Chains A and B, each alone.
Chain A
């Protein structure tokens, strides 16, 4: 029988959320990269085009969801990598709260930028 091999304690909420966000991000990250590097080239990006895309409510909502899920997935992954490295106790608590604050700040800034881009 194959053995389970994971960095996470199975059946925890964070473990499940990491998988759920992964499934979402696989699709949206591929879409994002394809749209902004192959359909539109990055060197051609201008504010007017960005604004036109962001004024589409579906696109705007997808990008905000992308930001939130990518932040959770990335920061949660980093946290678990550090736990795997052996951080514990006060160190673990400190790292957790630094990452929580960084995540909240990133999402807040990202949403502010998205609103400016869309002109809402």
Chain B
């Protein structure tokens, strides 16, 4: 049977020195969740250019993709999404009681795998862009 866990004031960021892997995972999951939720609204707003016709849609998307800063932001978005997915899988496993004893190791694995995927994707994200 599960039991409640009084984690104290996690929101007191002055406690960062005593953070464990699980708490870092919690903070990163919240941060990436906020970013993804915010991005969802932006994404639908940009895609709404389709309602102005095919030409506006093409010009909007290709105009944005032509900006170096947008490509960098996309790499950031990939990092955020990959971590949220990997840590989300980890959280689902924890919820199911699988691998509880290795929850710290699975957090570090999520971080390393996120880093590897992001680094490997950089050439794809920066292809055919002007600086």
Contacts and interface: CB of A to CB of B under 8 A. Distances in A.
Pair from one complex: yes
26 contacts: A2-B100, A2-B101, A2-B103, A7-B30, A22-B91, A26-B89, A29-B81, A30-B85, A33-B78, A38-B121, A41-B127, A41-B128, A43-B127, A45-B65, A46-B57, A47-B57, A50-B57, A70-B40, A77-B37, A81-B34, A84-B10, A109-B44, A109-B48, A113-B44, A116-B50, A117-B47
Contacts of A78: 33-34, 37
Interface of B: 2-5, 7, 10-11, 22, 26, 30, 33-34, 36-37, 40-41, 44, 47-48, 50-51, 54-55, 57-58, 61-62, 65-66, 74, 78, 81, 85, 88-89, 91-92, 94-95, 97, 100-101, 103, 121, 124-125, 127-129
Given A33-B78, A46-B58, A70-B40, A5 B48 contact: no
A6 B97 CA distance: 13
Chain B interface, >50% SS class: helix
A50 B128 CA distance: 20
B113 to A, nearest CB: 13
Interface of A: 1-7, 10, 19, 22-23, 25-26, 29-30, 33, 37-38, 41-43, 45-48, 50, 67, 70-71, 74-75, 77-78, 81, 84-86, 102, 106, 109-110, 112-113, 116-117
B124 A38 contact: yes
Given A19-B95, A29-B81, A33-B81, A113 B54 contact: no
Contact of A85 (B2, B11, B44): B11
A41 B124 contact: yes
